Amino acid sequence: MRASIISIGNELVGGVTVDTNAAWLARELTAVGCEVFEHATVGDDRSAIAEAVSSALGRADLLIITGGLGPTPDDVTREGIADALGVAIKTHPDAEGQIRDFYQKLQRRITPSGYRQALIPVGCEVIANPWGTAPAFGGRREGCRFFALPGVPSEMKAIFRAGILPKIVVETGGRRSATGVVRCFGTSEASIGEKIADLMAAERNPKVGVTADEAVISVRITATGEDEAAARVAVDADIAEVRKRLGRYVLGECEATLSSAVAELLKSSRKTIATAESCTGGLLAKSLTDIPGSSAYFLRGYVTYANEAKTGILGVPEGILASEGAVSEAVARLMAEGCRRQAGSDFAVSITGIAGPGGGEAPDKPVGLVYFGLADERGVFVKQILFGSHLSRNQIRQRSCRTALNILRLRLIEGDWP
């Protein structure tokens, strides 16, 4: 069943309020086997609502509309839906009764405008709203089942689960969906897409898609089956195949992060880590200690931002700093060595770079240039990456932190320099 969601409200299209209803509804619909193929946001404009609803009715099997069912003049969703259906709006006795009962329970006097919420497009069924004053309603047109709900999130969720979801389950024949996510790092979205292109074919079940967020690539897998168990079997099979094809780039599933992946590897191998940071200012240490139980593997972190700190704490010679500069392969190497020596850790990771926006005047040391050092009992590995001056200071710092974590992760899983 292909589903469309329309959210209505000037506050949504104007960016004043974030539309959380659509995201919640999409998750609920996906879980019962619906394929949500579009979200639309429309202002409180009768003609625009009518146009959006009419268009969706012609493309979707299921349409969910939220917002604009209140008592004020700008609440014109019911009128817009009626225009799309080609019918009038009329006071519905069931809706009127619900509104009257709600006010009586609260021992409040209802105003004339309150009864405006009892106006329902002719031919639609009224769906109870015990949690507020605006009844929901629904109907069917052109092979599409549609429902209109209030926009207040608490009311919308309660009405949907109590009065609408059971109807949708009947429509879908009781089918269920399951979802899995494989998190990756260290390669591009395009490269991953090429490796799993056949799994992303539009006609497949499961559906497989790829998204990127600050260099972390997520492969999302959603399957539909006769029941949840059947859907889960299909998802797990695709997860196994994605893991096989992507190999070292996979850091985990579901909510896995680079920090959690590294934490598990350090704990399972009973190894310890210390950090020496310059441009990231302690972000790497924070990432490692964000994980509960980090005292089992994290010994200490040094933020050696100034050259004097690199010399005084880590033992980087002043002559090297003068000749090579703080952002250099030599300094990254010496920072890692000094950090491991001072902390007595199994591993030490160093980061030194130019996060910008200042600096980077020298042609060979632009903004975005970062060096990483990794020291252990077998020696020191140094990696240089040019992230690019097009990234913001925060992006360069965050990506530097994640790159450092990944260098350590690969060392732990492969036993060789990454």
Last residue of a domain, one of 123, 153, 171: 171
Per-residue pLDDT at 285 = 98
* Residues 146 and 180 both lie in one domain: no
Query: Please, which pLDDT band fits residue 157 given cuts at 50, 70 and 90?
Result: very high
Number of structural domains (the chain) is: 3
Summarize pLDDT for 96-113 with one digit per residue, the tens. 999 999 888 888 888 888
Per-residue pLDDT at 175 = 87
* Residues 221 and 341 both lie in one domain: no
* Residues 131 and 78 both lie in one domain: yes
Asked if pLDDT for residue 151 goes beyond 90, the answer is: yes
CATH number at residue 312: 3.90.950.20
Last residue of a domain, one of 125, 151, 171: 171
* Residues 7 and 155 both lie in one domain: yes
* Residues 166 and 106 both lie in one domain: yes
* Residues 165 and 219 both lie in one domain: no
* Residues 281 and 364 both lie in one domain: yes
For the chain, helix, strand, coil in percent to 5 are 45, 25, 30
Task: Provide CB contacts within 8 A for 339, sequence distance 6+.
Answer: 274, 275, 276, 302, 314, 345, 348, 349, 350, 375
Summarize pLDDT for 324-377 with one digit per residue, the tens. 999 999 999 999 999 999 999 999 999 999 999 988 888 899 999 999 999 999
Per-residue pLDDT at 173 = 86
Give me the percent of the chain exceeding a pLDDT of 70. Answer: 100
How confident is the model over 175-203, as a mean pLDDT? 95
* Residues 87 and 207 both lie in one domain: no
* Residues 38 and 164 both lie in one domain: yes
CATH number at residue 247: 3.30.70.2860
pTM: 0.82
Which helix (H) or strand (E) segment holds residue 126: the answer is strand 125-127
Which residue bears the tokens 């089992």?
296
The neighbouring-strand residues paired with 121 are 89
Last residue of a domain, one of 112, 141, 171: 171
* Residues 262 and 371 both lie in one domain: yes
- Joined together, the tokens standing for residue 270 give 């009973």
* Residues 409 and 275 both lie in one domain: yes
Residue type, 405: L
CATH number at residue 20: 3.40.980.10
Burial of 274 (0-12, 13-18, 19+ CB in 10 A): buried
Domain range enclosing 271: 258-414
Summarize pLDDT for 405-414 with one digit per residue, the tens. 999 999 999 9
* Residues 230 and 284 both lie in one domain: no
Mean pLDDT estimate for the chain: 95
